[in-house]
Amino acid sequence: MFERLNHVGVATPSVARAREHYARLFGPSAVGASFDLPAQGVRVCFVDAPNTQIELIEPLGDASPIAAFLDRNPAGGQHHLCFEVADLDAAIRDAASMGARPLGEPRLGAHGTRVVFLHPREMGGVLVELMEASRAGH
């Protein structure tokens, strides 16, 4: 059901500060520009690691789900793992048949593709994002 690990989501109180940190680790050219996703209440930035990406996520306000995460983890930290799937609707059905609960309906994610999150309670304590992705470009 799950395919390639697309990215690791890392919540941070400041994408700007996190960008500086990751630029030191992976080099400045690995760190993309930050951009806002107002519908999701977050500012994001992708860092290209050699074998995946790191998604830096900052809340845009107190209503953001990332704000609640940072309330519990003020320094930030790993927020989720994102796996690619060929067919998101089929993956949701498969996950549900194994007892995993989707958190809401699919929506457009930061990569411009459909995504859905699976509740960590049924995923070994890890918030998992499923991202519909074509194999083109990989």
Spot the catalytic one: 55, 58, 84, 129: 129
Question: What is the gyration radius of the CA atoms in the chain, in angstroms?
Answer: 15
26: exposed, middle or buried (C-beta count within 10 Å: 0-12, 13-18, 19+)?
middle
Cα distances (Å, whole numbers) of residue 5 to 15, 31, 138: 22, 19, 12
> Do the beta carbons of residue 56 and residue 45 sit within 8 Å?
yes
* Angle at alpha carbon of residue 34, lines to 25 and 136, rounded to 5°: 85
The yes-or-no answer on residue 105 being catalytic is no
Sign of CA dihedral 59, 62, 64, 65: positive
Q: Which residues pair with 36 in a beta bridge?
A: 43
Could you give the residue numbers annotated as active site?
A: 129
